[in-house]
Amino acid sequence: MNNPGQIKVAVLVSGGGTNLQALIDSAAAGKLPHAKLALVLSNREDAYALTRAKKAHIETAVVTRAACGSQAAFEAELCRHLTEANIDLIVLAGFMSILSADFTARYPRRILNIHPALIPSFCGKGFYGLHVHEAALAKGVKVSGATVHFVNEIPDGGEILLQKAVPVRKGDTPETLQRRIMEQAEWKLLPRAVELVARDMAKKK
Ligand code: GRF
């Protein structure tokens, strides 16, 4: 059901979609009263996140860079879907494609991203997926964590909204550290950030 007090949210994904699942579960538990998960957009046809979205009866669409031919055409197609669905807020949840300055400028303070480290550590170009945790372990940091930030034209460079620290343990592998950061930080922070921003946006609507 459409609730007029709710902000329409699109979640952009590329992979497993555990962060999307955290949003779906939060919504089902009544923890996202100001946000409606209205659309899941994937740039990969085989993203398991799409299955999660369908199970939750959320509209889905697939837009691949290859099918579009150019970055500009790819982003135009993303925009078309976002506009058609009247999306107010975009959430990048494991979306493995860097968006151009043209795209981010269209949605100022309207795009959120979750990064699996404490920005400004281990962030920016090349720091995605397991690479982030490999770099953190190579440096020998004793805490890492996750950050939710607004997205601007600088990769991982927009205003920080929420952060949570997570301990690094002796014997950690990139995989074990990734999992702990997801469980203890990402899956909690992202729903909280979405509700915070949606509530603020709803006030101004
Ligand atoms: C997460 O670690 C997220 O922080 C990063 O990509 C990963 C996505 O995982 N941006 P999932 O698809 O949400 O499971």
CA angle 119, 125, 127 (to 5 degrees): 60
pLDDT at 2: 61
How many CB atoms lie under 10 A from the CB of residue 39?
22
- DSSP string over 97-109: SPPPHHHHHHSTT
Q: Look at ligand 1, atom 10, and give the residue with the nearest C-alpha.
A: 94
pTM (2 d.p.): 0.96
Q: Taking CB atoms and a 6 Å cutoff, what residues make up the pocket around ligand 1? A: 15-19, 49, 93-94, 114-116, 182, 186
Both tokens of 33, joined, read 């009263």
Over residues 126-181, the pLDDT tens digits come to 999 999 999 999 999 999 999 999 999 999 999 999 999 999 999 999 999 999 99
Q: Look at ligand 1, atom 7, and give the residue with the nearest C-alpha.
A: 94
Over residues 79-92, the pLDDT tens digits come to 999 999 999 999 99
Domains, the chain, ranges and CATH?
7-204 (3.40.50.170)
Is the confidence at residue 198, as pLDDT, over 70? yes
